[in-house]
Amino acid sequence: MNPLLAAAIEALDLTDTPEPLTEHHTLAWRVGDWKIKAATEAVPVANLLHEVRAVDLLHAQGLHPATGARGRVGDGVWTALPWRAGTTLWMWCLPTREGRATPDTGPRLRAITHHAFDALHALHAAGWHHGDIQPTNILIADDETNIAFIDHDLAQHADLPPTVPYRGGMHQPTAPEIARLILDTPPETHIELTDAAERYSLAAAIRWAWTGASPAGTRDIGTDVTVTDLYEDIATGRRRPTWADTRPWPDAELETLLDAYMSLDPTTRAESTPTPRVRA
Protein backbone atom coordinates (compact mmCIF):
# COMPACT_ATOMS: atom_id res chain seq x y z
CA MET A 1 0.00 0.00 0.00
CA ASN A 2 1.17 3.52 -0.76
CA PRO A 3 2.77 4.81 2.49
CA LEU A 4 0.93 8.13 2.28
CA LEU A 5 -2.38 6.34 1.84
CA ALA A 6 -1.52 4.05 4.76
CA ALA A 7 -0.71 7.06 6.95
CA ALA A 8 -4.03 8.70 6.08
CA ILE A 9 -5.98 5.53 6.84
CA GLU A 10 -4.25 5.19 10.19
CA ALA A 11 -4.73 8.86 11.11
CA LEU A 12 -8.43 8.75 10.23
CA ASP A 13 -8.91 5.30 11.82
CA LEU A 14 -10.53 3.89 8.68
CA THR A 15 -11.36 0.23 8.10
CA ASP A 16 -12.79 0.42 4.57
CA THR A 17 -10.86 -0.96 1.60
CA PRO A 18 -9.31 1.81 -0.54
CA GLU A 19 -10.49 2.09 -4.14
CA PRO A 20 -8.84 4.25 -6.83
CA LEU A 21 -10.85 7.42 -7.31
CA THR A 22 -11.06 6.58 -11.03
CA GLU A 23 -9.23 4.18 -13.31
CA HIS A 24 -6.91 7.06 -14.24
CA HIS A 25 -5.90 8.01 -10.69
CA THR A 26 -2.78 6.56 -9.09
CA LEU A 27 -2.54 8.92 -6.10
CA ALA A 28 -6.21 9.48 -5.24
CA TRP A 29 -8.60 7.07 -3.56
CA ARG A 30 -12.00 6.75 -2.00
CA VAL A 31 -11.89 5.15 1.43
CA GLY A 32 -15.30 4.93 3.06
CA ASP A 33 -16.64 8.46 3.41
CA TRP A 34 -13.33 10.12 2.54
CA LYS A 35 -11.52 11.15 -0.63
CA ILE A 36 -7.78 10.81 -0.03
CA LYS A 37 -5.08 12.29 -2.25
CA ALA A 38 -1.29 12.09 -2.04
CA ALA A 39 1.65 13.89 -3.60
CA THR A 40 5.42 14.00 -3.27
CA GLU A 41 6.44 16.69 -5.80
CA ALA A 42 6.52 20.35 -4.79
CA VAL A 43 3.73 21.76 -6.97
CA PRO A 44 1.23 18.91 -6.42
CA VAL A 45 1.96 19.08 -2.67
CA ALA A 46 1.27 22.83 -2.69
CA ASN A 47 -1.98 22.30 -4.58
CA LEU A 48 -3.20 19.60 -2.17
CA LEU A 49 -2.52 21.76 0.87
CA HIS A 50 -4.16 24.73 -0.85
CA GLU A 51 -7.28 22.66 -1.45
CA VAL A 52 -7.60 21.63 2.20
CA ARG A 53 -7.15 25.23 3.32
CA ALA A 54 -9.81 26.27 0.81
CA VAL A 55 -12.26 23.66 2.09
CA ASP A 56 -11.61 24.72 5.69
CA LEU A 57 -12.38 28.34 4.78
CA LEU A 58 -15.45 27.37 2.78
CA HIS A 59 -16.69 25.38 5.77
CA ALA A 60 -16.12 28.35 8.09
CA GLN A 61 -18.28 30.42 5.73
CA GLY A 62 -21.03 27.78 5.70
CA LEU A 63 -20.32 26.85 2.07
CA HIS A 64 -18.94 23.34 2.64
CA PRO A 65 -20.37 20.62 4.89
CA ALA A 66 -17.14 19.66 6.66
CA THR A 67 -13.44 20.36 7.06
CA GLY A 68 -10.57 18.24 5.75
CA ALA A 69 -7.49 16.56 7.19
CA ARG A 70 -3.84 16.39 6.18
CA GLY A 71 -0.51 14.82 7.14
CA ARG A 72 3.08 14.30 6.03
CA VAL A 73 5.34 11.32 5.47
CA GLY A 74 8.83 12.53 4.67
CA ASP A 75 8.55 14.94 1.75
CA GLY A 76 5.11 13.63 0.81
CA VAL A 77 1.71 14.94 1.83
CA TRP A 78 -1.68 13.27 2.12
CA THR A 79 -4.96 15.10 2.34
CA ALA A 80 -8.46 13.84 3.03
CA LEU A 81 -11.77 15.50 2.27
CA PRO A 82 -15.24 14.25 3.16
CA TRP A 83 -16.85 12.38 0.29
CA ARG A 84 -19.71 14.33 -1.28
CA ALA A 85 -22.53 12.27 -2.75
CA GLY A 86 -23.96 13.08 -6.15
CA THR A 87 -23.42 12.69 -9.88
CA THR A 88 -21.01 14.80 -11.87
CA LEU A 89 -22.51 16.85 -14.67
CA TRP A 90 -20.44 14.85 -17.16
CA MET A 91 -21.96 11.57 -16.03
CA TRP A 92 -25.46 13.05 -15.67
CA CYS A 93 -25.35 14.00 -19.36
CA LEU A 94 -23.94 10.65 -20.49
CA PRO A 95 -27.33 9.25 -21.64
CA THR A 96 -27.83 12.37 -23.76
CA ARG A 97 -24.44 12.00 -25.42
CA GLU A 98 -25.22 8.35 -26.09
CA GLY A 99 -28.63 9.13 -27.63
CA ARG A 100 -30.60 7.81 -24.66
CA ALA A 101 -32.23 11.03 -23.47
CA THR A 102 -35.80 10.84 -22.20
CA PRO A 103 -38.56 13.44 -22.76
CA ASP A 104 -37.88 15.05 -19.37
CA THR A 105 -34.10 15.39 -19.89
CA GLY A 106 -34.33 18.84 -21.48
CA PRO A 107 -36.43 20.48 -18.75
CA ARG A 108 -34.32 18.84 -16.05
CA LEU A 109 -31.07 20.07 -17.62
CA ARG A 110 -32.45 23.59 -17.90
CA ALA A 111 -33.37 23.51 -14.22
CA ILE A 112 -29.93 22.15 -13.30
CA THR A 113 -28.34 24.95 -15.31
CA HIS A 114 -30.24 27.59 -13.37
CA HIS A 115 -29.34 25.94 -10.04
CA ALA A 116 -25.69 25.73 -11.09
CA PHE A 117 -25.54 29.46 -11.85
CA ASP A 118 -27.26 30.21 -8.54
CA ALA A 119 -24.55 28.18 -6.79
CA LEU A 120 -21.81 29.98 -8.71
CA HIS A 121 -23.29 33.39 -7.88
CA ALA A 122 -23.31 32.39 -4.18
CA LEU A 123 -19.61 31.48 -4.34
CA HIS A 124 -18.78 34.76 -6.03
CA ALA A 125 -20.81 36.73 -3.49
CA ALA A 126 -18.67 35.16 -0.75
CA GLY A 127 -15.46 36.23 -2.50
CA TRP A 128 -14.59 32.94 -4.19
CA HIS A 129 -13.47 31.88 -7.64
CA HIS A 130 -13.31 28.14 -8.17
CA GLY A 131 -10.50 28.15 -10.73
CA ASP A 132 -11.26 24.91 -12.57
CA ILE A 133 -14.92 24.75 -13.54
CA GLN A 134 -15.38 21.73 -15.81
CA PRO A 135 -18.05 19.02 -16.23
CA THR A 136 -16.41 16.60 -13.78
CA ASN A 137 -16.11 19.27 -11.06
CA ILE A 138 -19.84 20.07 -11.01
CA LEU A 139 -21.71 17.76 -8.64
CA ILE A 140 -25.49 17.28 -8.89
CA ALA A 141 -27.33 16.02 -5.81
CA ASP A 142 -30.00 13.35 -6.16
CA ASP A 143 -32.78 15.94 -5.91
CA GLU A 144 -31.12 17.89 -8.78
CA THR A 145 -31.58 21.19 -6.96
CA ASN A 146 -28.37 21.24 -4.92
CA ILE A 147 -25.32 21.87 -7.10
CA ALA A 148 -21.79 21.85 -5.66
CA PHE A 149 -18.39 22.59 -7.14
CA ILE A 150 -15.72 20.11 -6.11
CA ASP A 151 -11.89 20.00 -6.32
CA HIS A 152 -10.70 23.31 -4.91
CA ASP A 153 -6.95 23.03 -5.49
CA LEU A 154 -7.01 26.10 -7.79
CA ALA A 155 -9.55 28.14 -5.81
CA GLN A 156 -8.99 31.86 -5.25
CA HIS A 157 -10.08 33.95 -2.28
CA ALA A 158 -8.69 37.11 -0.68
CA ASP A 159 -8.03 35.19 2.56
CA LEU A 160 -6.30 32.31 0.74
CA PRO A 161 -2.92 33.42 -0.68
CA PRO A 162 -1.93 31.45 -3.81
CA THR A 163 0.76 28.84 -3.28
CA VAL A 164 1.70 28.73 -6.97
CA PRO A 165 0.81 31.18 -9.78
CA TYR A 166 -2.62 30.52 -11.24
CA ARG A 167 -2.37 29.77 -14.95
CA GLY A 168 -5.83 28.44 -15.72
CA GLY A 169 -7.71 25.19 -15.21
CA MET A 170 -8.81 22.73 -17.88
CA HIS A 171 -8.26 24.25 -21.31
CA GLN A 172 -11.65 23.75 -22.98
CA PRO A 173 -13.89 25.77 -20.60
CA THR A 174 -11.35 28.59 -20.19
CA ALA A 175 -12.76 32.06 -20.82
CA PRO A 176 -11.31 33.92 -23.84
CA GLU A 177 -9.85 36.75 -21.76
CA ILE A 178 -8.10 34.27 -19.45
CA ALA A 179 -6.71 32.43 -22.49
CA ARG A 180 -5.36 35.75 -23.77
CA LEU A 181 -3.69 36.49 -20.44
CA ILE A 182 -2.10 33.04 -20.41
CA LEU A 183 -0.75 33.68 -23.91
CA ASP A 184 0.48 37.21 -23.22
CA THR A 185 2.06 36.90 -19.77
CA PRO A 186 5.10 34.94 -18.48
CA PRO A 187 4.48 31.56 -16.80
CA GLU A 188 5.34 32.98 -13.38
CA THR A 189 2.61 35.63 -13.60
CA HIS A 190 -0.35 34.95 -11.33
CA ILE A 191 -3.72 35.50 -13.04
CA GLU A 192 -6.66 36.70 -10.99
CA LEU A 193 -9.99 35.29 -12.08
CA THR A 194 -13.18 37.32 -12.47
CA ASP A 195 -16.84 36.55 -12.00
CA ALA A 196 -17.40 37.03 -15.73
CA ALA A 197 -14.67 34.53 -16.62
CA GLU A 198 -16.20 31.90 -14.38
CA ARG A 199 -19.68 32.48 -15.76
CA TYR A 200 -18.21 31.73 -19.18
CA SER A 201 -16.52 28.57 -17.85
CA LEU A 202 -19.72 27.26 -16.28
CA ALA A 203 -21.70 27.83 -19.47
CA ALA A 204 -18.93 26.19 -21.51
CA ALA A 205 -18.85 23.20 -19.15
CA ILE A 206 -22.63 22.71 -19.44
CA ARG A 207 -22.49 23.04 -23.21
CA TRP A 208 -19.65 20.52 -23.37
CA ALA A 209 -21.41 17.98 -21.16
CA TRP A 210 -24.71 18.33 -23.05
CA THR A 211 -23.35 18.17 -26.61
CA GLY A 212 -20.19 16.12 -26.12
CA ALA A 213 -18.38 18.69 -28.30
CA SER A 214 -15.61 20.81 -26.79
CA PRO A 215 -16.67 24.47 -26.63
CA ALA A 216 -13.13 25.43 -27.67
CA GLY A 217 -13.34 23.65 -31.04
CA THR A 218 -12.48 20.35 -32.61
CA ARG A 219 -8.71 20.44 -32.12
CA ASP A 220 -6.81 18.67 -29.35
CA ILE A 221 -3.22 19.22 -28.29
CA GLY A 222 -1.04 16.83 -30.27
CA THR A 223 1.63 16.57 -32.92
CA ASP A 224 0.24 19.38 -35.08
CA VAL A 225 -1.56 21.42 -32.39
CA THR A 226 0.26 23.17 -29.56
CA VAL A 227 -1.21 24.50 -26.35
CA THR A 228 -0.63 27.98 -27.81
CA ASP A 229 -2.78 27.04 -30.81
CA LEU A 230 -5.57 25.87 -28.53
CA TYR A 231 -5.47 29.03 -26.39
CA GLU A 232 -5.61 31.13 -29.58
CA ASP A 233 -8.71 29.16 -30.61
CA ILE A 234 -10.28 29.98 -27.25
CA ALA A 235 -9.19 33.63 -27.13
CA THR A 236 -10.57 34.37 -30.60
CA GLY A 237 -13.50 31.93 -30.71
CA ARG A 238 -12.37 31.06 -34.23
CA ARG A 239 -13.13 27.35 -33.93
CA ARG A 240 -16.15 27.37 -31.64
CA PRO A 241 -18.64 24.78 -32.96
CA THR A 242 -22.12 25.86 -33.95
CA TRP A 243 -25.27 24.73 -32.20
CA ALA A 244 -26.55 23.25 -35.46
CA ASP A 245 -23.52 20.96 -35.67
CA THR A 246 -23.49 19.82 -32.05
CA ARG A 247 -26.79 20.12 -30.18
CA PRO A 248 -28.59 16.85 -29.40
CA TRP A 249 -31.91 18.66 -29.95
CA PRO A 250 -32.93 22.33 -30.37
CA ASP A 251 -33.51 24.02 -27.02
CA ALA A 252 -34.04 27.77 -27.43
CA GLU A 253 -34.00 28.52 -23.71
CA LEU A 254 -30.83 26.58 -22.92
CA GLU A 255 -28.99 27.81 -26.01
CA THR A 256 -29.94 31.44 -25.28
CA LEU A 257 -28.78 31.10 -21.68
CA LEU A 258 -25.43 29.55 -22.58
CA ASP A 259 -24.79 31.97 -25.44
CA ALA A 260 -25.39 34.94 -23.14
CA TYR A 261 -22.84 33.68 -20.63
CA MET A 262 -20.35 32.73 -23.37
CA SER A 263 -20.02 36.10 -25.09
CA LEU A 264 -16.42 36.53 -26.26
CA ASP A 265 -16.43 40.03 -24.78
CA PRO A 266 -16.68 39.81 -20.97
CA THR A 267 -18.18 43.30 -20.78
CA THR A 268 -21.25 42.07 -22.70
CA ARG A 269 -21.49 38.75 -20.87
CA ALA A 270 -24.70 38.13 -18.94
CA GLU A 271 -24.59 38.69 -15.20
CA SER A 272 -27.94 37.03 -14.50
CA THR A 273 -30.29 34.68 -16.27
CA PRO A 274 -31.29 36.22 -19.62
CA THR A 275 -34.78 36.06 -21.08
CA PRO A 276 -35.22 33.19 -23.56
CA ARG A 277 -35.65 34.12 -27.18
CA VAL A 278 -37.33 32.19 -29.97
CA ARG A 279 -34.97 30.75 -32.53
CA ALA A 280 -35.85 30.38 -36.20
Each residue's pLDDT tens digit, 129-186: 999 999 999 999 999 999 999 999 999 999 999 989 999 999 999 999 999 999 999 9
**What is the C-alpha to C-alpha distance for residues 102 and 49, in angstroms, rounded to an integer?**
42
Residue 74 exposure: Cα atoms within 13 Å on the Cβ side: 7
**Where does residue 125 rank: exposed (0-12), middle (13-18), buried (19+ CB within 10 A)?**
exposed
Quick check: helix, strand or coil at residue 68? Answer: coil
**Higher-pLDDT residue of 279, 198:** 198
Q: Over the Cα atoms of the chain, what is R_g?
A: 19
**What is the C-alpha to C-alpha distance for residues 81 and 50, in angstroms, rounded to an integer?**
12
Q: Measured between alpha carbons, how far is residue 25 from residues 107, 155, 171 in Å?
A: 34, 21, 20
**Where does residue 43 rank: exposed (0-12), middle (13-18), buried (19+ CB within 10 A)?**
exposed
- Asked if residue 277 has pLDDT above 80, the reply is no
Mean pLDDT of the chain: 93
For β-strands 34-39 and 28-31, DSSP reports them as antiparallel
- Asked if residue 278 has pLDDT above 50, the reply is no
- Asked if residue 280 has pLDDT above 80, the reply is no
Q: Residue 279: what pLDDT?
A: 38
- Asked if residue 214 has pLDDT above 70, the reply is yes
Answer whether 254's CB lies under 8 Å from 110's CB. yes
The Cβ of residue 259 has, within 10 Å, a number of other Cβ atoms equal to: 15
Instruction: Kindly report the length of the chain.
Output: 280
**Nearest one of 5, 44, 45 to 21, comparing CA atoms:** 5
**What is the C-alpha to C-alpha distance for residues 203 and 20, in angstroms, rounded to an integer?**
30
- Each residue's pLDDT tens digit, 62-96: 999 999 999 999 999 999 999 999 999 999 999 99
Q: Residue 276: what pLDDT?
A: 46
The pLDDT-based confidence of 265 (bands split at 50, 70, 90) is: very high
- Asked if residue 41 has pLDDT above 60, the reply is yes
- Asked if residue 275 has pLDDT above 60, the reply is no
Q: What is the pTM of this model?
A: 0.93
- The string of DSSP codes covering 40-62 is -SHHHHHHHHHHHHHHHHHHHTT
- Asked if residue 193 has pLDDT above 90, the reply is yes
